[in-house]
Amino acid sequence: MSRLYTPKKVGAYSLSHRVVLAPMTRLRTIQPGDIPSPMMADFYGQRASKDGLVIIEGVSISIPARSYLGAASFYHDGQVAGWKAIADAVHAKGGRAFMQLIHGGRQSHVEMTGGVDPVAPSVVPFEGVALTKDGFVPASPHRALGIEEIPGIIEEFRVAAQRAFDAGFDGVELHGANGYLVDQFIQDGTNKRTDAYGGPVENRVRFLREAVEALISVWGADRVGVRISPSGEWGGISDSNPEATFSHVAKVLDGYKIAYLHVIEPRIKGDSTLHEGHGVVASAYLRPHFTGTLIAAGGFDREGAQAVVDSGVADLVAFGRHFSSNPDLPYRLKNNLPLTPYVRDAFWGGDEKNYSDFPAIQDVETV
């Protein structure tokens, strides 16, 4: 039997298997005040399993951090009950729920940021989009963060982490991938600063380090994860030497002894598009630099997931697309059962249809 279906200690928790629900931006936060909807609790509860890991979709830490209409956020007390319902739904199945925290940075529009200009490490030409009530529209012009503003954003990460703690989650994941604010600081294609947060890679990871330390101050290192996307293209992101940059990132994070490092393979562009023919390259070159738990993500099927875990390149595999339409995915993978096809048109926004209405083959407590 593949190691994919065997227990694994991840940070503070002992998991019964290594199939992880990846964080997916599904844009179902449709209630006033950005309060999580009941169908979100249904969705996550359905995909939980006993001692399995569920990573909640990117949750914006403030109004200016938002990028997409309907995306999750957690910035006021009125949202606590909705998020607690989601944590409770996962726990009812015996699962563990980590909340992914995000700041969209320049990937936004003034309609989503409360009327203020989106921010970034530097002003670099950008042709990205944001989602507003008028649909996907060009992102608003962004401005460079003043160095005196950075501690305030780090504090927003800390406060959001505390809110997740108070709502009953089991940990948090820092979204350092897909061209959002943390990633914009890391990569030299978007970070042109000449102060303590720019220039050499040691400076470009300073924002990442401070955000991680803020999360650890609430949760402890063994309940904090980080997601990165070496060589990802989404959000107009780029780096002149991604292998060197992200090898350094892995070494830095290894020093904190965090719960896990979550790596999106370059074959995923960022919008769930799979670039065929690309192998598991990022996890492979990062593995020597990170001694802790490594989660690989990016277009895996059953055979690919088993192979990457059995080889030792990764310890767990996160699934998004296949988990979207197969709430009992760990059970199906272990028993080599047919998978329900996913519905791409329902990935971003909508109601329960092709979201929380996919049937499980059977209700099971364990894989």
pLDDT tens digit sequence for 91-119: 999 999 999 999 999 999 999 999 999 99
Average pLDDT over residues 71-87: 97
Res 301 pLDDT > 70: yes
Which residue carries 């070159």 as its tokens? Answer: 285
Q: Give yes or no for residue 17 having a pLDDT over 60.
A: yes
Flag whether pLDDT at 271 surpasses 60. Answer: no
| Residue 5 is among the residues annotated as catalytic for this protein | no
Stretch 211-218: mean pLDDT, rounded? 98
The two three-digit tokens of residue 257, written as one number: 């002894």
In this prediction, residue 266 carries a pLDDT of: 86
Length of the chain: 367
Burial class (CB in 10 A: 0-12, 13-18, 19+), 224: buried
Residue 269, pLDDT score: 54
Task: Say what the pLDDT of residue 363 is.
Answer: 56
**Catalytic residue selected from 75, 180, 285, 331:** 180
Average pLDDT of the chain is 94
Percentage of the chain with pLDDT > 70?
Answer: 95
Give the pLDDT of residue 277.
42
How far apart are alpha carbons 133 and 135 in whole angstroms? 5
Taking the C-alpha atoms of residue 248 and residue 353, their distance in angstroms, rounded to an integer, is 43
- SS3 string, the chain, reads CCHHHCCEEECCEEECCCEEECCCCCCCCCEHHHECCHHHHHHHHHHCCCCCEEEEEEEECCCCCCCECCCCECCCHHHHHHHHHHHHHHHHCCCEEEEEEECCCCCCCCCCCCCCCCEECCCCCCCCEEEECCEEEECCCCEECCHHHHHHHHHHHHHHHHHHHHCCCCEEEEECCCCCHHHHHHCCCCCCCCCCCCCCHHHHCHHHHHHHHHHHHHHCHHHEEEEECCCCCCCCCCCCCHHHHHHHHHHHHHHHCCCEEEEECCCECCCCCECCCCCCCHHHHHHHHCCCCEEEECCCCHHHHHHHHHCCCCCEEEECHHHHHCCCHHHHHHCCCCCCCCCHHHCCCCCCCCCCCCCCCCCCCCC
**274 band by pLDDT with thresholds 50, 70 and 90:** very low
Per-residue confidence (pLDDT) for residue 364, from 0 to 100? 52
Instruction: Identify the pLDDT of residue 285.
Output: 95
278 pLDDT band (50/70/90 cuts)?
low
Q: Which domains does the chain have, with CATH numbers?
A: 6-346 (3.20.20.70)
Buried b (16+ CB within 10 A) or exposed e, 292-303: bbbbbbbbbebe
Q: Residue 220 above 80 pLDDT?
A: yes
178-213 per-position pLDDT tens digit? 999 999 999 999 999 999 999 999 999 999 999 999
